[in-house]
């Protein structure tokens, strides 16, 4: 079973999860530095990412890992506070520029295409003091940051992603327990999403007008879409599943990728109605101006897609409490089937067919956009003989193959998350997603290829899935 020769294979990481060196050579503090230091008790085993995988010191070594895998591209993220210690562009940290230039150069020497994400959750703490993503002004500061990146790396990086998973960092960060620990569900999460969408649109328009010609690059955004299957075939369950898809994926996809733009109608209606019932004089979900709808609509060259797992949906009770909540607004009961194989992450079960449905849903909803799978992966316990990971990748790649060659979905490439084990946010180092195992007990943070590295390397080099492995 082979993919077309132009189909690309890569692996991904993110700055905060691998770099370490949290306060050296002029780097500023990020919200995740602050949060893990101030609230160690909230992170599994009280861990933080002060050292992480030490990738800041291992440019050559890490690129060698990539080269051994034989991947076409490497998706990494750039740390905003490493580039702009105070978040603002009047003070550029030259060492930050040096570090990413070195990485990009090393990748190019090894014929690996750099794919850069501008924001994978490590906001400068100084901007959080202003309200972070809930303050509309942040969109302007994100544009300033993006300009610094495009001015410095635009000639060598041709594939850009503005954001990684706004759903996750807005929902978990401002509506839940991730950094910065907003815990203001149904309110600050919507403000965050609103400003992220504005910021994305503004950066895309700047890119389109000022940089595209010079850099000859492309730009997209990465959203996460777990497949949501109706719990039964009943009409109610189908309706609940559709609403849940719109609240999770449509929230960030509809304004950018749909023909009409703006938030999905089910979301607009539900949040407006619930806000009213709760006695608010205005909707908790902000409104875009007509100009903003136009600016954001169509702001993509391709769609970045992260997909890991599948859930079931059934209708919720319809009751809402006086305290706003995103969960109440969705009004669905989200579960997983016991029989679906487990991983080492509570939320992640192995359901390959969900991947194919997800891609088909996008094809139908958004006129078959070009998609780059920017993350897909699974966590298992430590160990080098990870047959379960090999089975996961193989099964998900088969589902992807069917989506492309049987269903006609327009997918350009596939990224495995992750190149190596790393700091898994609130789960510390307890959940391992790596093709390479990282030995956190060793001085060198030694990387060792797992069986899955061998498997994936064979796929990346041949473009084919082995019949037998
Ligand atoms: C995130 C990664 C994370 C992975 C596994 C994705 O949602 O982008 O940063 O490590 O999930 O939890």
- Joined tokens for residue 367: 């006129």
State both tokens at 346. Answer: 């509570």
The rounded distance, in Å, linking the Cα atoms of 341 and 337 is 9
Model pTM above 0.90:
yes
pLDDT value of residue 393: 98
Q: In whole angstroms, what is the distance from residue 251 CA to residue 268 CA?
A: 9
Q: If we measure between CA atoms, which residue out of 25, 28, 109 comes closest to residue 74?
A: 109
Return the number of other C-beta atoms located less than 10 Å from residue 454's C-beta: 14
CA distance 132 to 135: 6
Rounded CA-CA distance 113/104 in Å is 9
Q: Compute the distance between CA of residue 240 and CA of residue 462 in angstroms, rounded to an integer.
A: 42
Q: Tens digit of pLDDT for each residue in 28-63?
A: 999 999 999 999 999 999 999 999 999 999 999 999
3-state SS of the chain: helix, strand, coil percent to 5?
A: 45, 15, 40
Rounded Cα distance, 76 and 112, in Å: 12
pLDDT at position 85 is: 98
Judge contact between 264 and 245, C-beta under 8 A.
no
pLDDT in tens, 321-367: 999 999 999 999 999 999 999 999 999 999 999 999 999 999 999 99
Where does the pLDDT of residue 65 fall: very low under 50, low under 70, confident under 90, or very high at 90 and above?
A: very high
Closest-lying ligand 1 atom to the alpha carbon of residue 348: 12
Q: What is the DSSP letter of 373?
A: E
Q: Give φ, ψ of 438 to 5 degrees.
A: -110, 130
Exposure of 171 in the CB half-sphere (CA atoms within 13 A): 17
Q: In this model, does residue 469 exceed pLDDT 80? A: no
Residue 50 is predicted with a pLDDT of 98
Average pLDDT of the chain, as a whole number? 98
CA of 235 to the centre of ligand 1 (A): 33
pLDDT tens by residue, 148-169: 999 999 999 999 999 999 999 9
- In tens, the pLDDT along 371-416 reads 999 999 999 999 999 999 999 999 999 999 999 999 999 999 999 9
pLDDT of res. 305: 99
Q: Is the CB of 274 under 6 A from ligand 1?
A: no
Nearest of 290, 158, 164, 141 to residue 216 by alpha carbon: 158
Long-range residue pairs from 402-405, CB within 8 A, at least 24 positions apart, any chain: 402/356, 403/355, 403/356, 403/359, 403/360, 404/3, 404/7
DSSP structural state of residue 156: T
Who contacts 411 (Cβ-Cβ below 8 Å, separation ≥6)? 7, 359, 370, 371, 372, 373, 400, 403, 404
Where helices occur in 207-264 by DSSP H, the ranges are 212-215, 235-245, 251-257
Closest C-alpha among 378, 394, 382 to residue 433: 378
Query: Residue 208 burial by CB count (10 A; 0-12/13-18/19+): exposed, middle or buried?
Result: middle
Residue 307 CA to ligand 1 centre (angstroms): 10
Q: How far is CA 102 from the centre of its chain?
A: 24
Is the shortest distance between the CB of 306 and ligand 1 below 6 Å? Answer: yes
Interface confidence (ipTM) of the complex: 0.98
- C-alpha 204/C-alpha 428 separation (Å) is 33
Q: Which residue puts its alpha carbon closest to atom 3 of ligand 1?
A: 424
CB 211 within 8 A of CB 157: no
Cβ of 309 less than 6 Å from ligand 1: no
Establish whether residue 165 lines the binding site of ligand 1, counting it when its CB lies within 6 angstroms of any ligand atom.
yes
Q: How far apart are CA 307 and CA 310, in angstroms?
A: 9
Q: What torsion do the CA atoms of 273, 277, 279, 281 make, to the nearest 10 degrees?
A: 20
Nearest to 202 by CA among 131, 296, 103, 93: 296
Whether 221 has a pLDDT exceeding 90, the answer reads yes
Work out the average pLDDT over 190-218: 98
- Tokens encoding 403: 């989506």
* Closest atom of ligand 1 relative to the 164 alpha carbon: 8
pLDDT at 311: 98
Q: Is the distance from CB of 80 to CB of 437 less than 8 angstroms?
A: no
Q: Which of 103, 100, 96 is nearest to 62 (CA)?
A: 103
Rounded Cα distance, 306 and 169, in Å: 14
Centre of ligand 1 from the C-alpha of residue 24, in Å = 25
pLDDT score, position 468 = 77
Is-contact 117 222, C-beta < 8 A? yes
Could you give the residue numbers annotated as active site? 375
Q: Rounded to the nearest 5°, which phi and psi values hold at 436?
A: -105, 135
For the Cβ of 168 lying below 6 angstroms from any atom of ligand 1, the answer is: yes
Q: Which atom of ligand 1 is nearest to the CA of 121?
A: 9
Q: What is the mean pLDDT of residues 220-226?
A: 99
What's the mean pLDDT in 248-275? 98
Give Cβ neighbours of residue 293 (< 8 Å, ≥ 6 apart): 255, 261, 262
Whether the CB of 375 sits within 6 Å of ligand 1: yes
Could you tell me if the CB of 320 is within 6 A of ligand 1? no
CA distances to 216, 245, 279, 311, 392 from 337, in Å? 46, 18, 38, 8, 17
Q: How much is the average pLDDT of 220-232?
A: 98
Distance 282 CA to ligand 1 centre (A): 34
């Amino acid at each position: 079973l082979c993919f077309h020769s132009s189909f690309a294979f890569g692996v991904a990481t993110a700055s905060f999860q691998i770099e370490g060196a949290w306060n050296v050579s002029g780097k500023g503090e990020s919200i995740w530095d602050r949060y893990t230091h101030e609230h160690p008790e909230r992170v599994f085993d009280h861990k933080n990412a002060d050292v992480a995988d030490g990738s800041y010191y291992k440019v050559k070594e890490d690129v060698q890992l990539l080269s051994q895998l034989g991947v076409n591209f490497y998706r990494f993220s750039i740390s905003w506070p490493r580039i702009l210690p105070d978040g603002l562009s009047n003070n550029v940290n030259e060492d930050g520029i040096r570090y990413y230039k070195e990485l990009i150069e090393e990748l190019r020497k090894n014929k690996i295409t750099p794919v850069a994400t501008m924001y994978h959750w490590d906001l400068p703490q100084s901007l959080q003091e202003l309200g972070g993503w809930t303050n509309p002004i942040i969109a302007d500061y994100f544009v300033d940051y993006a300009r610094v990146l495009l001015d410095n790396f635009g000639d060598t990086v041709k594939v850009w992603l503005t954001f990684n998973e706004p759903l996750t960092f807005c929902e978990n960060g401002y509506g839940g327990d991730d950094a910065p620990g907003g815990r203001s569900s149904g309110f600050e999460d919507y403000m965050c999403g609103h400003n992220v969408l504005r910021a994305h649109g503004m950066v895309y328009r700047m890119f389109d007008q000022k940089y595209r010609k010079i850099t000859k690059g492309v730009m997209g955004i990465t959203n996460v879409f777990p497949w949501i299957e109706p719990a039964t075939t009943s009409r109610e369950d189908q309706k609940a599943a559709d609403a849940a898809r719109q609240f999770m994926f449509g929230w960030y996809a509809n304004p950018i990728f749909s023909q009409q733009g703006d938030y999905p109608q089910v979301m607009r209606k539900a949040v407006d109605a619930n806000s009213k019932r709760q006695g608010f004089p205005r909707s908790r979900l902000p409104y875009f101006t007509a100009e903003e709808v136009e600016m954001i609509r169509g702001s993509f060259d391709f769609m970045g897609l992260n997909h890991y797992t599948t859930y079931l949906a059934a209708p919720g009770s319809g009751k809402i409490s006086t305290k706003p909540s995103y969960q109440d607004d969705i009004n669905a009961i989200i579960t997983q089937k016991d029989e679906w194989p487990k991983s080492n992450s509570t939320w992640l079960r192995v359901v390959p067919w969900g991947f194919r449905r997800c891609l088909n849903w996008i094809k139908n909803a958004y006129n078959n956009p070009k998609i780059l799978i920017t993350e897909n992966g699974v966590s298992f316990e430590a160990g080098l003989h990870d047959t379960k990971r090999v089975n996961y990748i193989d099964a998900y790649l088969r589902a992807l193959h069917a989506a492309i060659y049987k269903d006609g979905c327009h997918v350009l490439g596939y990224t495995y998350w992750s190149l190596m084990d790393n700091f898994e946010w609130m789960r510390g180092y307890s959940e391992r997603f790596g093709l390479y195992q990282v030995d956190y007990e060793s001085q060198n943070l030694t990387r060792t290829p797992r069986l899955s590295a061998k498997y994936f390397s064979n796929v990346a080099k041949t473009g084919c899935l082995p019949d037998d492995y």
